[in-house]
Amino acid sequence: MEKLQNWMTALRRDLHKHAEPGWFEFRTSSLIAERLSELGYAVMTGREIIEESAVMGRDENSIPEQTDRALKQGARKEWIDRMNGFPGVLGILDTGKPGPVISLRFDIDAVEVNEVKDEKHRPFKEGFSSVNPGAMHSCGHDGHTAMGLGLAEVLVNKKETLKGIIKLIFQPAEEGVRGAKAIVEKGILDDSDYFLAIHLGMGFPTGKVVGGSSGFLCTTKFDVEYHGRSAHAGAAPNEGHNALLAAANAALNMHAIAPHRDGVSRINVGILKAGEGRNVIPPNALLKAETRGETETIATYMFKRASTIAKSSASMYEVEFRIYKKGESITTASDEELVDIVVETASRMDDFNEVEKSAELGGSDDAAWMMKRVQEKGGKATYIMLGADITAGHHNEYFDFDETALLKGVKLLSQVIGELLSNH
Ligand SMILES: [Zn+2]
Ligand SMILES: [Zn+2]
């Protein structure tokens, strides 16, 4: 177990150093695929597990550059070729004995954040901070990937005691809720009796675990582009059509949408880029935003109001506008029956000193698409929150987590699987 802890820590640090944002996890996927096939799993990747028509927010133009980078950083060419532009890996362990299908989701992508270069930040101090600009594992998905591969090994070592089929899903592009739906639409989860997702940190300390989650917010991620007309700011301002002002007007008014009486709503304009030069009427602007809601009705309300504002701001300044959906997720809840099994299992383990039944997620995770599909097909699903001390909030440039949580997570998942099989 100590060996496994060290192995996962080293792997997590290697992944942290080579952080890859959503849909660019080529090195990460190559490494996962390689390890799973070494362990004897049936391995699928690329379009074998991704339904292209349901892919959201993938920057197609950057794929050649990103695969080149991944190859330079140690990805294996045969896996890159098999991915053919679509990262993500499925490892299947078929015990050959009748039994349930248990699927687990591990997300593998980094956040689009520049990691801080500060001696106070352990990854920087110890030389494993991200070498890829604009990409940082500031949500802990490097840890999730390490746990997934750690679990893969533990399961193989006790294969004789297992039955049924275990599917380990290594999902790309969770950030911005872009990747899960494409895997769901491929039908990979349709035969699952049980589904487990796990997230470390989440504001809970090392040694605590929460068996289930509620309060997943429905969310839409979208870009708005404005195209106006440039003109000399001194000589002919009247000839310009100012895209910057349209976007700025949209940003301010989106943040003034009335909250919904029936529950939680959110809006954030996270990026606004516009303009070309000080003395030029700005011809182009790009706004990246997201809306959220506790229910589908509230989420639809927020996105509809935001779209109206985006459109009306364009007409105010006589510029053209386009709106693109870049990601979408839904609300869901954990199944009590499965939550109880996780809670009872964790309570018997020395690794945890505090076990809670359920907590609010307070955000979104596109594992919700997977949970919903499994539930629709008659299976049970839960989203576990694994306590891990963190040095800063998720997505912060100073984020780091307590690596001792990794082994606790693997032991928990392995024991929950054992429990599910003995109950079945
Ligand atoms: Zn995140
Ligand atoms: Zn996350």
* Structure confidence by residue, pLDDT tens digits, 16-44: 999 999 999 999 999 999 999 999 999 99
Query: Ligand 2 center to residue 279 CA distance, Å?
Result: 42
Q: Is the pLDDT of residue 146 over 80?
A: yes
Give mean pLDDT, residues 83-107.
98
> pTM score > 0.85 for this model?
yes
Q: What is the distance in A from the centroid of ligand 1 to the CA of 337?
A: 27
User: Which residues lie at CB < 5 A from ion ligand 2?
Assistant: 139
pLDDT at 101: 98
- CA atoms of 25 and 52, how far apart (whole Å): 16
Ligand 1 centroid from CA 282, angstroms: 33
2-216+332-423 and 218-329 have identical folds: no
Ligand sitting nearest the alpha carbon of 175: 1
Query: In the structure encoding, which two tokens stand for residue 345, read together?
Result: 């299992």
Neighbours of 227 (CB within 10 A): 15
Contact 125, 384 (CB under 8 A): no
CB atoms within 10 A of CB 371: 31
One CATH from 3.40.50.10440, 3.40.50.410, 3.90.1150.10, 3.30.70.360 for 218-329: 3.30.70.360
Centroid of ligand 2 to alpha carbon of 334 (angstroms): 17
What share of the chain in percent tops pLDDT 70?
100
Instruction: Write down the pLDDT at residue 347.
Output: 98
Q: Can you tell me the mean pLDDT for 276-304?
A: 97
The mean of the pLDDT values for the chain is: 97
Amino acid code (one letter) for 94: D
For residue 176, the ligand closest to its alpha carbon is 1
Give me 19's structure tokens: 């952080």
- pLDDT band at 316, cuts 50/70/90? very high
- Which residue has 């954040």 as its token pair? 113
108: Cβ contacts below 8 Å, ≥ 6 apart: 25, 28, 29, 32, 87, 88, 141, 144, 145, 170, 171, 172, 174
Q: How far is CA 108 from CA 136, 140, 146, 171, in A?
A: 12, 9, 9, 6
SS3 393: coil
Angstrom distance (rounded) from CA 2 to CA 4: 5
Q: What confidence tier does 362 reach under pLDDT thresholds 50, 70, 90?
A: confident
* Amino acid identity, position 239: E
Query: What pLDDT, on a 0 to 100 scale, did the predictor assign at position 384?
Result: 98
What pLDDT was estimated at residue 361?
Answer: 87
Q: Are 413 and 198 in contact (CB under 8 A)?
A: yes
Query: What is the domain partition of the chain in residue ranges?
Result: 2-216+332-423, 218-329
> Within 13 A of 325's CA, how many CA atoms are on the CB side?
13
**Which ligand is closest to the CA of 141, given by its number?**
2
In sequence order, what are the residues at sequence separation of 6 or more whose Cβ sits closer than 8 angstroms to the Cβ of residue 252? none
- CATH fold for domain 2-216+332-423: Aminopeptidase (3.40.630)
Distance CA 310, CA 363 (A): 24
For residue 200, the ligand closest to its alpha carbon is 2
Q: What's the pLDDT at 363?
A: 87
DSSP code for 174: T
Separation of alpha carbons 68 and 77, rounded Å: 10
